[in-house]
Amino acid sequence: MTLVVSEEVRAAVGARRPVVALESTIIAHGLPRPRNLLVARELEAVVRQEGAVPATIAVLDGRPHVGLDEQQLERVANEDGIRKLGHRDLPLAVAAGASGATTVSATALLAARAGVRVFATGGLGGVHREWTVTQDESADLALLAGTRVTVVCAGVKSILDVPATLQRLETLGVAVAGYRTDRFPGFYLSDSGHPVDWRLDGPEQVAAVMRAQDALDGPASALVVANPVPEEEQLDPALHARVLADALRACEAEGVTGQAVTPFLLDHLVRHTDGASLRANLAAVRGNVRLAARVAAAWTGA
């Protein structure tokens, strides 16, 4: 697989300057046009404001790119037919010459291949509700178990089975720490209702864990830094609980299964909270991107 790393990202990695990987699914599939392109530019600008280099990742015409220029960013935001690619889809997309936006698993894999250690996203995938019946679990978890990357996120999507996801991460050997919190965040919510075993209170502490990972030379697993959305910007918990319950009932009534479940539930939340869930999502992503840039700076000594 030929990995196309932008000159700016290549130079920054080579000179050990801070770089932050950004996924592209939020651009192609997570937001309506033209807001998606504006947010993509904004997130890259946030990384630069913190003194780091943004590396938005996508596959274009069968070539994985780490770091996009303006024209490529516009393609991901505006081109019809952009696929959604997990890491399992990468060889198929490369062989077919397809274009696609990368999910958490594909972004983490390509970032690691390019030597980018820090990655910012909104929320991880995880174990779906009623897993014992559906056996539905995000590919994010297994990929992170075998990839040395630091993921700054707002926990896992609150539509998932959060305690089962935390248990699965433990089983897979993926380190999880709350950032300035003893509680695991719930994507739209500051607190999912579940604790975390470890807490980190600054970018330097995160970087120290990353160095310890390398020094111990254990399995090449990820570090998940769970950074809660600020309470004043979270989705109202009572509204979230009510709308999510309605969404789950609608999902079952309409027979939605498999990969269609997550987008169905997220779309239901956006529509039935008058966009409040989307605003909370974007607030979480902005905070994660800013923190990731600071972690990357601490990691590289910038």
Q: What is the pLDDT of residues 12-61, one digit of tens each?
A: 999 999 999 999 999 999 888 999 999 999 999 999 999 999 999 999 99
Query: Which candidate in 44, 50, 137, 157 is catalytic?
Result: 157
Nearest to 92 by CA among 30, 6, 22, 1: 1
d(CA 150, CA 296): 9
User: 80-134: per-residue pLDDT in tens?
Assistant: 999 999 999 999 999 999 999 999 999 999 999 999 999 999 999 878 766 555 6
pLDDT at 247: 87
pLDDT at 81: 94
Q: What residues does CATH 3.40.1790.10 cover in the chain? A: 1-116, 118-302
Asked if 21 and 32 touch (Cβ cutoff 8 Å), the reply is no
User: 71-81: per-residue pLDDT in tens?
Assistant: 999 999 999 99
User: 230-263: per-residue pLDDT in tens?
Assistant: 999 999 999 999 998 898 899 889 988 766 777 7
Which residues are 211's β-sheet partners?
none
Higher-pLDDT residue of 174, 2: 174
Q: Cα–Cα–Cα angle for 150, 153, 157, nearest 5°? A: 135
pLDDT at 251: 86
Mean pLDDT of the chain: 93
pLDDT at 127: 82
Please confirm, yes or no, whether 23 is among the known catalytic residues: yes
Asked if 37 and 72 touch (Cβ cutoff 8 Å), the reply is no
Higher-pLDDT residue of 93, 161: 93
Q: Does domain 1-116 fall into CATH 3.40.50.2000?
A: no
| CATH architecture for segment(s) 118-302 | 3-Layer(aba) Sandwich (3.40)
What residue type is assigned to position 270 of the chain?
Answer: V
What CA dihedral angle connects 177, 181, 183 and 187, to 10 degrees?
Answer: -80
Banded model confidence at residue 212, pLDDT cuts 50, 70, 90: very high
d(CA 234, CA 255): 30
Mean pLDDT over residues 268-275, rounded? 90
End-to-end CA distance of the chain: 31
| Beta pairing class for 183-186 and 53-60 | unpaired
Query: Which candidate in 23, 44, 50, 137 is catalytic?
Result: 23
Banded model confidence at residue 302, pLDDT cuts 50, 70, 90: low
Q: What is the pTM of this model?
A: 0.94
pLDDT at 252: 84
